[in-house]
């Protein structure tokens, strides 16, 4: 290994990490960050809010976005921007000026949302007087929707009930039954799957009503793979290709080296990736619970995030070599094989369940390989001093 190459990769990694840290410091400067056992926001905020706590109560208005992780989260003030919450019990009483994204156990929406609502929850309900200016995408156990929804609804769970008005189409899947109340109104079409025929009063659906088969119902679970999803994946692919090109210009042989490391000892590098990811994430989460440890948690999180983001480059070349059954010699061909392998990796990840698990395992192996090789390069650089 040439010392200049090792120096280049460490320099590039350091610059990337430095830029990410500068960005996080900018965010911290322009935002309010709270990490306490109990977080209580009782004064209006003119910027974004980032909060972590067992109980988080936001009683006042927030002029920016809200990002919250908590056991119990109550948002009573109005939020001008987006709301992103991960919590056990989430109650959203205030109005939201943009999108709502919630991952929780029990989620209740009583306010108004200007744009879309995406919820993954055990129980999700929308109150009667609430309005949603965009679409609703809901996956969970018990889903009950009231209020007025301006666009479309896609819902899948053990139980699905619609009591409000929907100005667009409704796609629903329920293991037990799809229940459309007398108070509901669907101005578009209704497509549903359930073991038993849906309870649909006359005159509630203006468009077509179609009970679809089990095969089609699985497509409802893949509603997340919308046009927006593919756009995001395509942009991610292009950005990785650009980063890969820069890395190949700096260190043309390193990715071939790492792909070979994966081939020779896949399970070893998978184990490294698993141990580092789980222990690093746990350390960052515990550190984030204290104000003193928050900067360290951000650094650990950024290092893990950068490593995970770059891992498809390693696995892409590994998968490409595996499919083509030969190792290209020229840098241009190596780059092309990596690009092909990344396409295959993204396609694998889109396959329901097994593909997602397989893509995660492959990326985890690439993650472990990238970390191990970076450590080896650091040892080389230290030995050259």
**Rg of the chain over all Cα atoms, to the nearest angstrom:** 24
Give the helix/strand (H/E) hosting 209.
Answer: strand 209-211
CB-count exposure of residue 205 (10 Å: 0-12, 13-18, 19+): buried
33, 50 contact by CB (below 8 A):
yes
CA-wise closest residue to 114 among 100, 93, 129, 128: 100
Q: What is the pLDDT of residue 25?
A: 43
Question: In what side-by-side order are the strands of the sheet with 131-132?
Answer: 131-132, 148-149, 165-166, 185-186
Instruction: In whole angstroms, give the CA distance from residue 172 to residue 162.
Output: 10
Q: What is the pLDDT of residue 27?
A: 44
Q: pTM higher than 0.75 for the full model?
A: no
356, 349 contact by CB (below 8 A):
yes
Give the chain's end-to-end CA distance (angstroms, integer): 15
Distances (CA, A) of 99 to 67, 69, 94: 12, 17, 13
pLDDT in tens, 24-47: 444 444 456 554 557 788 888 888
* pLDDT tens across the length of the chain (385 residues): 444 544 444 444 444 444 444 444 444 444 565 545 577 888 888 888 877 677 889 999 999 988 887 778 999 999 999 998 877 889 999 999 999 998 778 899 999 999 999 888 888 999 999 999 999 998 888 899 998 999 999 988 888 999 999 999 999 888 777 888 989 999 999 988 887 788 788 888 988 988 876 544 444 444 444 444 555 566 677 778 888 888 877 877 888 889 889 989 888 888 888 888 888 888 777 776 665 667 777 788 888 888 888 888 888 888 888 877 666 667 777 888 888 888 777 777 666 556 667 778 888 899 999 989 888 888 877 776 5
CA-wise closest residue to 345 among 310, 315, 323: 315
């Amino acid at each position: 290994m040439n010392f200049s190459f090792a120096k280049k990769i460490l320099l590039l990694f350091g610059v990337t990490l430095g830029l990410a840290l500068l960005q996080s410091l900018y965010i911290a400067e322009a935002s309010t960050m709270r990490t306490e056992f109990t977080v209580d926001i009782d004064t209006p905020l003119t910027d974004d809010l980032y909060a972590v706590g067992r109980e988080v109560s936001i009683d006042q208005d927030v002029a920016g976005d809200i990002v919250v992780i908590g056991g119990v989260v109550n948002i009573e003030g109005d939020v001008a921007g987006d709301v992103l919450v991960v919590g056990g019990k989430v109650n959203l009483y205030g109005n939201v000026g943009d999108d709502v994204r919630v991952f929780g156990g029990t989620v209740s929406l009583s306010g108004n949302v200007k744009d879309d609502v995406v919820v993954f929850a055990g129980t999700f309900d929308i109150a009667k007087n609430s309005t949603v200016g965009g679409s609703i995408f809901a996956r969970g156990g018990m889903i009950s929707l009231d209020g007025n929804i301006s666009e479309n609804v896609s819902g899948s769970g053990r139980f699905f009930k619609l009591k409000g008005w929907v100005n667009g189409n409704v796609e629903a899947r329920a293991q037990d039954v799809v229940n459309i109340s007398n108070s509901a109104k669907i101005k578009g079409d209704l497509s549903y799957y359930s073991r038993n025929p849906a309870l649909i009063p006359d005159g509630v659906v203006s468009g077509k009503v179609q009970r679809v088969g089990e095969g089609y119902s699985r497509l409802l679970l893949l509603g997340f793979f919308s046009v927006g999803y593919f756009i995001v994946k395509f942009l991610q692919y292009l950005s990785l290709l650009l980063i890969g090109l820069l890395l190949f210009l700096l260190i043309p042989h390193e990715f071939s080296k790492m792909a070979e490391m994966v081939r020779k000892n896949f399970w070893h590098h998978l184990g490294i990736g698993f141990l580092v990811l789980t222990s690093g994430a746990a350390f960052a989460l515990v550190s984030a619970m204290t104000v003193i440890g928050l900067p360290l948690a951000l650094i650990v999180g950024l290092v893990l995030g950068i490593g995970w983001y770059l891992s498809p480059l390693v696995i892409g070349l590994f998968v490409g070599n595996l499919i083509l059954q030969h190792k290209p010699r020229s840098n241009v061909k190596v780059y092309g094989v990596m690009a092909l392998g990344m396409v295959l990796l993204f396609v694998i990840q889109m396959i329901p369940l097994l593909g997602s698990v397989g893509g995660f395992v492959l990326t985890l192996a690439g993650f472990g390989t990238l970390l191990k090789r970076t450590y080896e390069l650091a040892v080389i650089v230290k030995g050259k001093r």
